[in-house]
Structure 1
Amino acid sequence: MADGNTQRRQDRFHGRIGSGEQMCAHPGCMERGEFRAPGAARSSFDGPGDWRWLCLEHVRAFNSGYNFFDGMSSDEIEQAQRPFAGWERETRAFSAAGGSAGPRWGDFVDPLDAISARFAEARQVRPDGRPLGDADRRALKTLGLTAEADLKAIRKRYTELVRRYHPDRNGGDRTHEKALQDVISAYTHLKAAPAFA
């Protein structure tokens, strides 16, 4: 059993993948074709190309005669040898607000407006041009306010919600304690946020 595994490992290491049932495709050769080499029909859009089977001697000759640049002009060869070949494609710039600019597919269909709504939210800025971060948007949502709210509106809404949720205002009922903590946390965040400074 170990001999079979060792033999298979050696066969694979040397590139032998054929069973040896085929004969070498080189004209006049009577050796077994155990190595695969590309045939006349190369891989293309229509599918993979064909293969031919060669013996060890002829597959070595085939490999030594391989030239990547065969059929290329001197300008094409120079272009392929540049250190940064392939890196000249356009990439999207990073957003100043930290969010992505969103998809640029002209024919993309978004019937539920799910993706574009996500990107519209990520690009949301205040009327004064200051960008809002994710934490700012969450805090505003907790207080039930929009991005247009200023610090005065935030204080007013904070006061209303503290009065509503505080146990002293609703007969000692502590069921709104989590909501009260969220409101206090949101207000603390917003009053120190750069967008509202």
Structure 2
Amino acid sequence: MSERDGRRSGPRFHGRVETGRRCEEPGCEAPGEFRAPAVRGGQRDQPGAWRWLCLDHVRAFNAGYNFFEGMDPDAIAQAQRPYAGWERETRAFSHVGADLPPRWGDFSDPLDAIGARFKARVAAERPRADGKPLSGEDRRSLETLGLGPDADRRALRSRYAELVRRYHPDRNGGDRSHEQALQDVIAAYTQLKSAPAFA
């Protein structure tokens, strides 16, 4: 490999970090540019310590790595289930603008959750049965509230009250993590209650 501007040229590998450190494998003088867990089989639910290795030693580490090391047969079988981990709600799935996804934790099968989101979108795009017009902003606001296009003023008020109770910090022990969702719900309700379809 040649040197250019103090950097190596040649094949690039995902995960390489120029740290200025030496490989932590005893006796190795190569740069330590790849991160590997310091202890195998450590606590799986906590961040572990890391060490820095050269490409050859990180390849050797990866070749000998065993995710199931230290697990009993029942724990291995549990980890190999097709939907392992699905029932644990972690962070929210991302969404764009007012396009709120369903609560993924309400479904036992990921395909059902994806199908529910698609069905909600198709229902939201159809016209109202009473023929009252809905603007694009009206439809986005209905989607934010999780309502279909045929919702009436009573359903609008009821859903608004339900979501305010769900997201308000006073009802969640002071937890302010749903503050943006609460603001979105208030803005959607304010917009819809003055829309022609709900007058």
TM-score band, normalised by shorter chain: 0.3 to 0.5
Question: TM-score of the superposition, structure 1-length normalised?
Answer: 0.39
Larger Rg: 1
Question: TM-score of the superposition, structure 2-length normalised?
Answer: 0.39
